[in-house]
Amino acid sequence: MKQYLLLMLTIVSFYYAVGQEDELVIKGSTKINRQLIPKSVIDSLCTNFPQSVAIEYYSMPPYVAKNAWAIAEADSLVSYRDTTNYYLLVVKRNNLKFYGVFSASGQLIMTKLKEDVAVLPGEVQESMKDIRKDYPGFKVRSSSCYKNEGKSRQLYYEVVAERGNSQQRFFYDVAGTLVKIDVIRRND
């Protein structure tokens, strides 16, 4: 009975952790059905990712897209005057699951692919060691991260570090340079 309970607790903890990471990606978005997605977005998905299928659909206002998805100035998504929503699709191809943000006209803005921290370039792994030194108390607790590709085709690696109830996302370029830090949650 104890083994069964331990197994169930482990499974629930895993799903909670996975759900938390997905929540970071879709934060501020509203889940919608496929019929509300512009045809241009679906066409772009098929063109950019053949043999892939969208399994979830979200709409997000411009300020959410700009704050949650823009990493560097080259990837600046929108101005605050923009009123057109963006669309976040959760995409699956074979056993691979990733996220894509599209403009209403169908332009692919950015993709996020969940990866294991162990496959990060060596320069990025070395730079991640500085988190503990430069941000006392923060520690990368997850074995996964996100590989982001912006509309400028620049690659960034995103890891989440925690200190108590505080969480921050650290973005690195392929050379291991820290390019952005986002506060996810602060201690109250």
Per-residue pLDDT of the chain (188 residues; tens, 9 = 90+): 444 333 333 333 333 333 444 655 677 889 999 999 999 999 999 999 999 999 999 998 887 777 667 665 545 555 545 668 899 999 999 888 999 999 899 989 889 998 888 888 999 999 998 998 899 999 988 888 889 887 777 889 999 899 988 888 899 999 999 998 888 766 55
Domain ranges, ordered by start, for the chain: 2-185
For residue 118, give the nearest of 97, 142, 94, 138 by alpha carbon.
142
Q: Which CATH number fits domain 2-185: 3.90.1200.10, 2.40.50.140, 3.40.50.11310, 3.10.450.360?
A: 3.10.450.360
Residue 148 bridge partners (DSSP): 112, 156
- Cα-based angle 121, 155, 185 (whole degrees, multiple of 5): 90
pTM over 0.85: no
